[in-house]
Structure 1
């Protein structure tokens, strides 16, 4: 069944704050034999056991690009090193040097500032394409 998933930058703009997400390298959706599938399932169980909210999300939106779901999860915890839930999450995923503890699992923060820049770039791209349409640009060279 089709699902509507937001891009992580849209979530940052909606929440009006920096956002956390995890990415799974070499993720194979619906391949229960793949290591990345089990890593993702294990992390989701860990989050659920601790009542940490999360939702599947798409990566950063790129204008004109359609991509398939790569297993990313938005984690609904503020990026605040003083927050005990953030500390627990960070301790589970990263060592004291900031290196990932679980191979194949990457932990990211996307700043609101970057999300706003992405939106501005997207608007510029759409306006550029609209200008081509207004000029009756067909895309043909001859």
Structure 2
């Protein structure tokens, strides 16, 4: 359903078995990692990290991947554009671009214009946000 009729949905992260031990050391487990979309907005929980923004702030959602493990597994901030990645798998995910950069994930002074999440069902997350599905570039 689109933005006007947001239905509460929870999207678990897709955990690649190879990365469970190092992710667990960071506090990232299947029960502590998910993306939720509801009337309050888009909420990401990734172990100790949290991100919240209104769904209207998401201006693009596109399926991406596969990834190189060192670029996505764990929590990463891009030095090039300050985009943030929350990754548990190298297979695929969703890149979300924001109209207004979202701050407060790591520090209040650092804002993120985009975010990548490796959820189990990327297309369902894109659909829940009401943004067009676009193929990976």
Instruction: Tell me the TM-score range normalised by the shorter chain.
Output: under 0.3
**Relative contact order higher in (CA < 8 Å, ≥ 6 apart):** 1
Q: Which structure features the higher share of helix residues?
A: 1
Q: Which structure features the higher share of strand residues?
A: 2
